[in-house]
Amino acid sequence: MPSLSGQSSARSMPSVLEPLYTEALRRNPGEPEFHQALGEVLESLGPVLAARPELLEARVLERIVEPERQIIFRVPWQDDFGATRVNRGFRVEFNSALGPYKGGLRFHPSVDLGIVKFLGFEQIFKNALTGLGIGGGKGGSDFDPRGRSDAEVMRFCQSFMTELHRHLGEHTDVPAGDIGVGGREIGYLFGQYRRITNRWEAGVLTGKGVGWGGSPGRTEATGYGNVLFAAEMLKRRGEGLEGRQVVVSGSGNVAVHSIEKAQALGAHVVTVSDSAGYVVDEKGIDLELLKQVKEIERGRVGDYAERRGTSARYVRGGSVWDVPADVALPSATQNELDADAARTLVRNGVKAVSEGANMPTTPEAVRILRAAGVSFGPGKAANAGGVATSALEMQQNAGRVRWEFAEVEERLAAVMRDIHDTAYETAERYGAPGDYVVGANIAGFERVADAMIAQGVV
């Protein structure tokens, strides 16, 4: 079987796993993102399965690729004109061997069962890498909050939670935000959960407002964590972020806080993007202006360029990866960095690519980057800072305490260093030095597999 993840031209699916993968494709038709995520993990597992045949005998893989529960439901709501709208809601509770299901909710027109399953499958291993005792799940809806009033978003969230609440609980399933689900949406969702259940169960959702059970640093965590992971990769190369030119894709929460942390560490960040195009700012991104445009006015990156002045130019369409950089941080959405983009980055001398989004790099692009000696941080490791801080929020909720921002940031930095070192050392132990994809996949898999075996056939 040809390589799917493309991590190196010599690697392919272990023959013992080909029937499992083929059966998974048959049972999950029309879900290419899930197929891609599944293939990328399975390709990495040859060394651990050779060393630990008991994992095959226990049929751990057959169990881990099948979600424990898949929930699909109707979400009816009324718009501001009184018209009834109907969307579809999803929650895939993938694996709870290490703790309650944990993973975000995504509100975007592209959301379907395959997208949610790909995200949930990735979340299993990402959460395992944090070492914080949380299982993997994901959810969302094909509802698009863009252009909707606060009242419409509230009515949708209330209808969504009216169905979903019966499947949640701080010891069962704890959602957070993702694309299209920020502090506003989490607030409406939590309010409806509290209204229905008559319980102040703060630990049932993370990403809450700091004044009512949220954690300082949660908003920043995914972007900050991604930059910290990139810095650790550069450190292993004997290099650093200071003075490096950085390109960032996207302009949402992850992108904004990736820029913020990279600038704090002395990097020169020159790009942001959205679905219509990208901006190159030779002076470096003006973070306060970007936050004003994106977070307050909910505008487009073209608006940023118009107000920034002569240092910034807006490029409609095109590829943000055409801009030369030492470090690339794809922080928008899945499969945004393709093979052509990878070749361009390599030609322009990129040293490290760290995934702020979930699976933003295509399999062929990953192969190209690794073959060129680029340090590549897969999303399940590099963007785990968000879910790690969600787990820290759950800890604070359980003790009814709130830590200061500096303490949360310090704990986040420690978690990201540990994830980096675990992935790096696991890759070395299994004969793939410097391959963070192999290291992250095997380390996360072993933690989940060991727990599953210990708990019996469930």
What string of pLDDT tens digits covers the 458 residues of the chain?
334 433 333 357 889 999 999 999 999 999 999 999 999 999 999 999 999 999 999 999 999 999 999 999 999 999 999 999 999 999 999 999 999 999 999 999 999 999 999 999 999 999 999 999 999 999 999 999 999 999 999 999 999 999 999 999 999 999 999 999 999 999 999 999 999 999 999 999 999 999 999 999 999 999 999 999 999 999 999 999 999 999 999 999 999 999 999 999 999 999 999 999 999 999 999 999 999 999 899 899 999 999 999 999 999 998 999 999 999 999 999 999 999 999 999 999 999 999 999 999 999 999 999 999 999 999 999 999 999 999 999 999 999 999 999 999 999 999 999 999 999 999 999 999 999 999 999 999 999 999 999 999 99
Domain ranges in the chain? 69-200, 222-382
Task: Give 359's DSSP letter.
Answer: S
For residue 2, give the 3-state DSSP assignment: coil
pLDDT of res. 11: 54
Residue owning tokens 């410097």 = 434
424 and 245 Cβ atoms separated by less than 8 Å = no
SS3 424: helix
Q: Tell me the pTM.
A: 0.92
Q: Give backbone dihedrals phi and psi of 169, rounded to 5 degrees, phi first.
A: 160, 150
Question: How many CA atoms are closer than 13 Å to the CA of 231, on its beta-carbon side?
Answer: 20
Domain 69-200 matching CATH 3.40.50.10860: the answer reads yes
Q: How far apart are CA 159 and CA 164, in angstroms?
A: 9
- For helices 113-130 and 405-429, the axis angle rounded to 10 degrees is 90
Residues 232, 210 contacting (CB under 8 angstroms): no
Q: Could you give the CA distance from residue 189 to residue 178 in angstroms, rounded to a whole number?
A: 13
Catalytic residue among 117, 126, 138, 208: 138
Identify the three-state secondary structure at position 380.
helix
The question of whether 235 is a catalytic residue gets the answer: no
Residue 375 phi/psi, 5-degree rounding, is -70, 120
pLDDT reported for residue 6: 37
Spell out the residues 6+ positions from residue 269 whose beta carbon is closer than 8 angstroms to its own.
246, 247, 248, 259, 262, 263, 284, 285
Determine the CATH number of domain 222-382.
3.40.50.720
The pLDDT assigned to 9 comes to: 33
Please state, in angstroms and rounded to a whole number, the distance separating the CA atoms of residues 313 and 415.
37
- The pLDDT value recorded for residue 13 is 86
Tell me if domain 69-200 and domain 222-382 are identical in fold: yes
CA distance 314 to 45: 43
